[in-house]
Structure 1
Amino acid sequence: MVPTRATGEGREQRDLLTLPKAHLHLHFTGSMRHATLLELAERDGISLPDSLVAEWPPQLSAADEKGWFRFQRLYDVARSVLRTEDDVRRLVREAAEDDVRDGGRWLEIQVDPSGYAARFGGITAFTDLVLDAVRVAARDTGLGMAVVIAANRTRHPLDARTLARLAAQYADRGVVGFGLSNDERRGSTADFAPAFAIAERAGLTLVPHGGELRGPEHVRTCLDTLHAGRLGHGVRSAEDPELLDRIVQAGVALEVCPVSNVALGVYSDLTSVPLPTLMAAGATIALGADDPLLFGSQLAGQYATMRAAHDLTDRQLADLAAMSVRASRAPDAVRDAILSDIERWIDPVTAGAPARMSP
């Protein structure tokens, strides 16, 4: 049998670290291990704020512009410790290792090359470096990996077009999606439509952030003007049943990141994250860790917190994992293999796997 443990009510629970899953919402800098951040900062004499050292994980909020500024400042400090090609390769390798440890079988890591261009020879050179690091990490860990290139909505929409053209050039070389990140309350989302049109013509999955710091009206904008195929977060779609039904009917996946939602003040606690509402409506959901460096929780932690907060059954958790795989850009053969292994996790005998007892 799959390893299980007894709950307080006597119900057996399978080990979530062994549940195969896909990870579709993980930011490049935010995937860095805390220990790596400390080591690289010490190497180069970079002074880190207490909230990234003794007070880690930091107490965050994005309830107002000042709170988001503090969050972004910590992110920028973390980015600054990546100084060499080996640092970049280490980050990618460790992100892969962490996902494998958490049961990850496929990872789409999101990166904005313009944030590293000045230090690594431009956006094209940095993209080449990241893609080669992904190739090596995938080979060494066995994790399927791909890249989502994301524009920054606090920069000019013309910069986003440049990144969209870059993403299109790599559409058959490891880049599978195009996103739009940072504070969704900033700028005009519709202004980024031309960039998303470039990515759409290249066959990339369109994955803008929406429906986290702003509500249903912004989700509609992402659907109508950016033609989102997945929504980074999208969790606040639960506030509008008509919108949620539209999302379900269109098959738009929601990349829900429960721990970061609570950390940033979108919800007061994990029980308030409306995952049951989304599930009951039939939404496609892919749980993600967002920025483990700043939120202190990895991929399996998202499943564990939602299990505890909403008393999810193993079958429901397996269904969530399967949805993450179906929403991914994993090749068909990889997708089918992961889905089969999810069924073995939930029912090893019926799925044809030999039964085995946990140690």
Structure 2
Amino acid sequence: MTDTTADLQSAPLRDLSALPKGHLHIHHEAAIRPTTLMDMAEAEGITITIPTEFDDFSDFSATYRGMLRVLSKKENFFRLVDESIEGCAVEGVVYAEFGASPQFYVDTFGSLEESLEAMLEACAASGEKWGVEIGLMITVDRTESVEAANQLAHLAAAYAGRGVVSLGLANDERGYPAAKFAEAFAIAKEAGLLSTPHAGELEGPDYVLEALDVLHADRILHGVRSATDPALVARLAEDGVCLDVCPTSNVLLSAVDGFGTHPLVTLLEAGVRCSINADDPVLFGPSILDEYEVSRTTLGLTDEQLADCAWSSIDCSGASDSLKESARAGITAWLAS
């Protein structure tokens, strides 16, 4: 072994917490700290068990509904906001695009509009406090009605430029294609919002194509099953559509067979832009920093690839131009360190 080789092997790894990054695939309720959730549940007399494995996506949904009961109390919701943004700051997140569902909090705040305004005010205050820029992705439930989706799209459009940056589409893909929500996403796009639906998690490439062709997606949340269709991969790369990938969630919910078959590296090598995200940390375990560590140590991403993912998480987001400029400089400096 040469001295140069020995020096390289003993050199410390770059600190991933110092890498400026965006968190684009994070459902806000599930960003709650496990200890905080248990404290809140005990105070409210509600029993919540955080599962260690998920036999089916419906198990995940049932646990999520239990969390919403705890967070329906105003002070609990505001605590969630502040602690989740503090957690972002600690892990090097300079921009977070939280999946927000104001429809969950109508009974708490009085109306959809009042719920959204409470969210925006709380996020703005905590974002300034912790030095993290926040955008909200209003999230449509694909298992609900077209009318409910259109109502949320109009609400999101009314707050474009005032903290709302994108319209998402979530919940179980199986049996719920995206096409029926074309009008909702047209409303959002007309208002200048990003189209950011879930697709290609539990269903295959056809659902990703539908998100592209019908919803005119700017980003795809998950999208990992695109990797089985070379033509689709080539299209994603050519069009610069970012996949907001969540490695651990993909494994636990059986979107992929295991970390050994996760296609993140393959997608990156094919030129597809990808961001790295945690999805639902309180349920799946890892935070976004943990997911960057998993991507480095388990999936084998190089620091250059990690930096590319970090830049995609900023450049493909609803972040302000000034934030994009400062984050780009920070990522470049991180690679040069």
Give the alignment's TM-score, normalised by structure 2: 0.95
Q: Which residue of 1 aligns with 2:233?
A: 244
Give distance in 1, aligned partners of 2:336 and 2:177. Answer: 48
Residue 95 in structure 1 maps to residue 84 in structure 2: yes
**Structure 1 residues 160 and 7: CA distance shift in structure 2, 3 A:** farther
Residue 23 in structure 1 maps to residue 23 in structure 2: yes
Q: Which residue of 2 aligns with 1:13?
A: 13
How far did residue 229 of structure 1 move?
A: 0.7
Residue 59 in structure 1 maps to residue 48 in structure 2: no
**Structure 1 residues 48 and 8: CA distance shift in structure 2, 3 A:** farther
Q: Which residue of 1 aligns with 2:326?
A: 337
Which of 307, 323, 329 matches 1:318? 307
How far did residue 189 of structure 1 move?
A: 1.4
Quick one: which amino acid aligns to residue 334 of structure 1? Answer: L
Aligned residue for 1:14, secondary structure, equals: coil
Q: Does the Cα contact within 8 Å between 2:200 and 2:207 map onto a contact in 1?
A: yes
Q: Does the Cα contact within 8 Å between 1:178 and 1:208 map onto a contact in 2?
A: yes
Give distance in 2, aligned partners of 1:326 and 1:305. Answer: 22
Alignment of 1:22-171 (within 5 A): 22-49=22-49, 52=50, 58-61=52-55, 67-171=56-160
Give distance in 1, aligned partners of 2:188 and 2:12. Answer: 45
How far did residue 280 of structure 1 move?
A: 0.9
Give distance in 2, aligned partners of 1:115 and 1:272. Answer: 36
Aligned residue for 1:110, secondary structure, equals: strand
Q: Which residue of 2 aligns with 1:282?
A: 271
How far did residue 135 of structure 1 move?
A: 0.6
1:234-268 alpha-carbon deviations (Å, 9 max, x no partner): 11111111001111111111000001001111223
How far did residue 85 of structure 1 move?
A: 2.2
Aligned residue for 1:116, secondary structure, equals: helix
Give the alignment's TM-score, normalised by structure 1: 0.89
Give distance in 2, aligned partners of 1:73 and 1:340. Answer: 42
Give distance in 1, aligned partners of 2:150 and 2:72. Answer: 27
Quick one: which amino acid aligns to residue 189 of structure 2? Answer: E
How far did residue 173 of structure 1 move?
A: 0.7
**Structure 1 residues 45 and 8: CA distance shift in structure 2, 3 A:** farther
**Structure 1 residues 343 and 151: CA distance shift in structure 2, 3 A:** same
Give distance in 1, aligned partners of 2:175 and 2:79. Answer: 32
How far did residue 9 of structure 1 move?
A: 4.9
The runs of 5 or more residues in structure 1 that have no matched partner are 1-5, 62-66, 349-359
Which protein has greater RCO, CA pairs closer than 8 Å, 6+ apart? Answer: 1
Q: Which residue of 1 aligns with 2:3?
A: none
**Structure 1 residues 7 and 166: CA distance shift in structure 2, 3 A:** farther
Quick one: which amino acid aligns to residue 162 of structure 1? Answer: Q
How far did residue 115 of structure 1 move?
A: 2.0
How far did residue 179 of structure 1 move?
A: 0.6
Q: Does the Cα contact within 8 Å between 2:74 and 2:108 map onto a contact in 1?
A: no
Further displaced range: 77-86 or 194-203: 77-86
Aligned residues: 332
Quick one: which amino acid aligns to residue 91 of structure 2? Answer: D
Give distance in 1, aligned partners of 2:151 and 2:65. Answer: 22
Q: Does the Cα contact within 8 Å between 1:270 and 1:305 map onto a contact in 2?
A: no
1:30-54 alpha-carbon deviations (Å, 9 max, x no partner): 11111111011111111223xx2xx
Alpha carbon RMSD of aligned pairs, Å? 1.6
Q: Does the Cα contact within 8 Å between 2:72 and 2:105 map onto a contact in 1?
A: no
How far did residue 130 of structure 1 move?
A: 0.4
Give distance in 1, aligned partners of 2:177 and 2:203. Answer: 13
Quick one: which amino acid aligns to residue 264 of structure 2? Answer: L
Q: Which has the higher helix share?
A: 2
Residue 296 in structure 1 maps to residue 285 in structure 2: yes
Question: What stretches of structure 1 move > 6 A for 4+ residues in a row?
Answer: none
How far did residue 188 of structure 1 move?
A: 3.2
Further displaced range: 23-32 or 161-170: 23-32
Further displaced range: 124-133 or 78-87: 78-87
**Structure 1 residues 284 and 40: CA distance shift in structure 2, 3 A:** same
Give distance in 1, aligned partners of 2:112 and 2:198. Answer: 21
